[in-house]
Structure 1
Amino acid sequence: MNAERPATPQGTAMPVRSDAQRNAARVLAAARRAVAANGLDVSYHEIAREAGVGVGTVYRRYPERDQLMAVVLSDILTELIDTAHQALDCDDAWDGFSTLFSGLALRTAQNAGLSGSLDQHGGPAVAQQRHELLDLTRRVVERAQVQGRLRRDLTWQDVLRLTGAPAVQGCVLGLELDPANGHHVVLTVLLDGLRTG
């Protein structure tokens, strides 16, 4: 994302200092990591600490909290929308479906921010992206079902709900579980169960 360019009295754009550009990139990257780990209620102090900058730097770049959350969520949704388009472009509907399902499942497992209310935190632009992703997901699921590659006894909403399964992690009955390995195992089992034949 480009840093804002302040206008000079003559109305021409002044070049943005390279350290300001670096700080802006660090703040956004840190915000993504912090939201992934802690959800959408993460504080500016946590983001600043993660970025290695003062909290004032975060406030100067994003005076309103909703601005920063919208940028973070839009970044994530843009990646998932791109994955969904790639899935629709696959000749084999199953390959496309498994690509999108895996992307959604792993992103959800790795990002606590996706479990929050995206419309509430992201504003109209994020709400539009969320609806676009949902529509693309429906199309990917239905295409795989039409080609006979995906079970027909599930709705696309059921399939979407299953993408949250690999997010279960931590401790079960006192046994510490390895999240990375757990995501892979659960994802493999889910895909095996969804595929026809």
Structure 2
Amino acid sequence: MTAVDRLLAHESGPTPRADARRNLERLVTAARSAVAEVGVNVTAQEVAQRAGVGKGTFYRRVPSLEALLQVVLEEVLEQGIAAADRALENPDPWQGFTDFATAYVSLRKESCGVNDALGGGGSCDLERCLGELRERLRELVGRAQHNGSMRADIPWEDIAFVLAGVATAEHTIGLTAAPDQWHRNLRIVLDGLSARP
């Protein structure tokens, strides 16, 4: 279910007019981009401005800023869960894990808000999504360790922190990150997690 559909599901009464739905879609799109750039501390005013609507329209279309952020972050985190599900279907546990790691780090890299939410920031209740991500990661690591493709001496919880650290800042110690820096960092991490013959 999309973020727009989730918000509409909470409305009682007749189906909204086409222009009302378009405004809601614009608000969801604006919230997603604002969360990506600013994080979970974005304001209703900023979302409304990005969507090209007034604050009155904002509050007619969504119950609250928190409700809007909740559905937007759930939608993004569910992309990570879907990536994990696809990875679990891969018959090669190591390839499945590396596919998930790439998708997961990419999601973290593209959104400040996702990083905030995964770190427990903000006021949204995302425990369902976070719990599903934890369970999928535990399974992915367990499969790869069980078949001998991933080092067995690393707890799955440590891998959550290692993957979180792959998407780095743009600058460090006077150096500028390469455009593909997170890909390079991930290759180094995956090489370190891989079991040696």
Tell me the TM-score normalised to structure 2 length: 0.86
Q: Say which is worse superposed, 25-34 or 137-146, in terms of deviation.
A: 25-34
Aligned to 1:169: 169
Name stretches of at least 5 consecutive residues in structure 1 with no aligned partner.
8-12
Tell me, in whole angstroms, the C-alpha distance in 1 between the residues paired with 2:190 and 2:49.
39
Aligned to 1:194: 193
Aligned to 1:122: 124
Tell me, in whole angstroms, the C-alpha distance in 2 between the residues paired with 1:58 and 1:187.
40
Tell me, in whole angstroms, the C-alpha distance in 2 between the residues paired with 1:55 and 1:182.
39
Tell me, in whole angstroms, the C-alpha distance in 2 between the residues paired with 1:163 and 1:34.
24
Question: What's the offset of the Cα at 1:56?
Answer: 2.4
Tell me, in whole angstroms, the C-alpha distance in 2 between the residues paired with 1:113 and 1:24.
20
Q: Percent identity?
A: 32
Aligned residues: 188
Query: Does the 8 Å contact 1:119/1:127 carry over to 2?
Result: no
Question: What's the offset of the Cα at 1:120?
Answer: 5.8
Q: Residue 194 of structure 1 aligns to which amino acid in structure 2?
A: L
Tell me the TM-score normalised to structure 1 length: 0.86
Tell me, in whole angstroms, the C-alpha distance in 2 between the residues paired with 1:169 and 1:67.
29
Matched, 1:109 2:114: no
> What do the CA deviations read for 1:9-59 (whole angstroms, capped 9, x no partner)?
xxxx3x422222122111111111111111111111221222222232222
Q: Residue 189 of structure 2 aligns to which amino acid in structure 1?
A: L
Tell me, in whole angstroms, the C-alpha distance in 1 between the residues paired with 2:137 and 2:55.
38
Question: What's the offset of the Cα at 1:159?
Answer: 0.7
Q: Residue 158 of structure 2 aligns to which amino acid in structure 1?
A: D
Question: What's the offset of the Cα at 1:162?
Answer: 1.1
Aligned to 2:67: 67
Matched, 1:183 2:185: no
Aligned to 1:159: 159
Alignment of 1:88-103 (within 5 A): 88-103=88-103
Q: Residue 181 of structure 2 aligns to which amino acid in structure 1?
A: G
Q: Residue 192 of structure 1 aligns to which amino acid in structure 2?
A: D
Query: Does the 8 Å contact 2:105/2:167 carry over to 1?
Result: yes
Tell me, in whole angstroms, the C-alpha distance in 2 between the residues paired with 1:65 and 1:146.
44
Per the alignment, do residues 68 and 45 of structure 1 end up closer, same or farther by CA in structure 2, a change over 3 Å counting?
same
Q: Cα RMSD (Å) of the superposition?
A: 2.0
